[in-house]
Structure 1
Amino acid sequence: MRLSVVLACLLAACMAEKPRPCNLNKLALFLQSTQNEKLWVFAKFLYDAMGQRVRLMEMGNYQNKSFTYDALLLFREGAMYEINEKAHTCKKSPLKAAFHPMEIPKNASLLGQAVVGSSSRPGEGLLVNTWTGDLPGNTGKYITTFTEFGCIPVSTAYQTKDFGWMLTSFFNNVIGIPDPNRLNPPDYCPTEMSGEQPGDFASLFFNLH
């Protein structure tokens, strides 16, 4: 369904820096909302860069209706599992999408470096870099912020046709995944695909319940 946040940093110096990939397996929480105020989402996010696996466990509100959603995306397998752990039900659908690493794109332009919080005393602030660029297919712009040390995502904003700017804020990032089994389909999931048309990553976030 979607991701969200509020960017908090603006331009400063450090234009000599180059974007660096940062493929880290991680557990994180994120909050997402849209410019037109139709949608907000709070989710737990499991991300396996090497295995190209993502799991989203969400709760949110779309057009004043609340929802929950649990999806496991296996990009190498080309499959998406929609999971209901309480009811022990699961649907397997084809996934038509390329895996996009959670990293600073190599063609991103550095806007600047800033401190979120305060630099007056140690521990009062977080040093971050903010980058911008064009979305694939020149469908809009994005702005993304990563920490200077550790290359951890802090926030992202990107343009969409249906919702305007999508704002996503990441927090409580944990490097490594405490329970890797959460990135495998449960035993009660089917092995056969449903007869649905393949979905892409965007359809997962915009085909709302």
Structure 2
Amino acid sequence: MRVFVLLVCLSVGCLAQRPQRCTSPPLLTGSLSVSSANEKLTVFARYTYDALRQRIRLVEWGSYQNQSFHSDALLLYREGVVYKINNRNRTCCKKALCRSFHPLAVPQNASLLGQVVLGSSSGPAQGVLVNTWAGKLNMKKTRAKYMSTVTEFGCVPVSTLFYTDKTGWIVTSFFNNVIGLADPQMLIPPSFCRDAQLETENGEGPETFFSVL
């Protein structure tokens, strides 16, 4: 009987230790980098993320096909608009945001690839335990592959790899993450955006999270 109870306890312990799919904190502030070999794209950005009210602010610097650029965008998913902000000239461009908001989370169809320690496990505070998940997504015109790495404790995003035949691998790395909103004003349109009119698409298609990047 004692052996049976011990086996049951060990089984429950193993199940409890197995990494679980998770959702990242609803409020995050930090930095990220995006790179794509096929598209010759390199981006560094500061981000402010609010899953509760479905808002994202991205302030970016980068290069695309050897051309440097700077972008400041506020994505308001509930309103279905994105503001491209120029603080220097105090101008604002308002366009449609066509896609639904998707919170930072491990998809339900993801499969666990493994659990590792980034850094060292030799001493306290020398490493971070992370889980890597992988899966496939059916998109409108293609099928995509992804790999997502998050921390075991807190489900804080570490990196995401995304692949389609058109783009190749796109690598996003998150760093300097802080739970909460460091500056809530970053998620409110500046006063000079108040009278901005929704612009037509001009054949470019509605703005999305990926086109803003």
Q: Normalising by the residue count of structure 2, what TM-score does the alignment of the two structures yield? A: 0.85
CA distance in 2, matches of 1:146, 1:126: 10
CA distance in 2, matches of 1:204, 1:31: 14
Partner residue of 2:155 out of 147, 151, 159: 151
More displaced stretch, 41-50 vs 103-112: 103-112
CA distance in 2, matches of 1:105, 1:117: 26
Partner residue of 1:24 out of 23, 26, 31: 26
CA distance in 2, matches of 1:161, 1:84: 34
Identity of aligned residues (%): 50
Paired letter, 1:87: N
- Indicate the residue corresponding to 1:82 in structure 2: 84
Paired letter, 1:71: A
Check if 1:141 corresponds to 2:145.
yes
Check if 1:193 corresponds to 2:195.
no
CA distance in 2, matches of 1:69, 1:31: 14
On the 8 A contact 1:23/1:103 being kept in 2, the answer is: no
- Pick closer, same or farther for the CA change 1:42–1:130 going to 2, 3 Å: same
Alignment root-mean-square deviation, CA: 1.9
Alpha-carbon distance, 1:165 to partner: 0.2
On the 8 A contact 2:60/2:71 being kept in 1, the answer is: yes
SS at match of 1:120: coil
Deviations 1:80-111 (A, max 9, x none): 10001111010111110110101111221111
- Pick closer, same or farther for the CA change 1:64–1:198 going to 2, 3 Å: closer
CA distance in 1, matches of 2:208, 2:25: 22
Q: Determine which structure has the larger helix proportion and give its number.
A: 2
On the 8 A contact 1:140/1:158 being kept in 2, the answer is: yes
Unpaired runs of 5+ residues, structure 2, are: 1-13
CA distance in 1, matches of 2:27, 2:116: 25
CA distance in 2, matches of 1:158, 1:187: 36
Deviations 1:28-82 (A, max 9, x none): 1011111336110000011001000001100001111111001100000000100
- Indicate the residue corresponding to 1:56 in structure 2: 58
Unpaired runs of 5+ residues, structure 1, are: 1-12
Partner residue of 1:121 out of 120, 123, 129: 123
CA distance in 2, matches of 1:50, 1:86: 30
On the 8 A contact 1:23/1:101 being kept in 2, the answer is: no
Alpha-carbon distance, 1:16 to partner: 3.7
Structure 1 stretches of 4+ moved >4 Å: none
On the 8 A contact 2:109/2:135 being kept in 1, the answer is: yes
- Indicate the residue corresponding to 1:45 in structure 2: 47
Number of aligned residue pairs: 193
- Indicate the residue corresponding to 1:202 in structure 2: 210
Q: Normalising by the residue count of structure 1, what TM-score does the alignment of the two structures yield? A: 0.86
Alpha-carbon distance, 1:136 to partner: 3.7
On the 8 A contact 1:38/1:163 being kept in 2, the answer is: no
- Indicate the residue corresponding to 1:177 in structure 2: 181
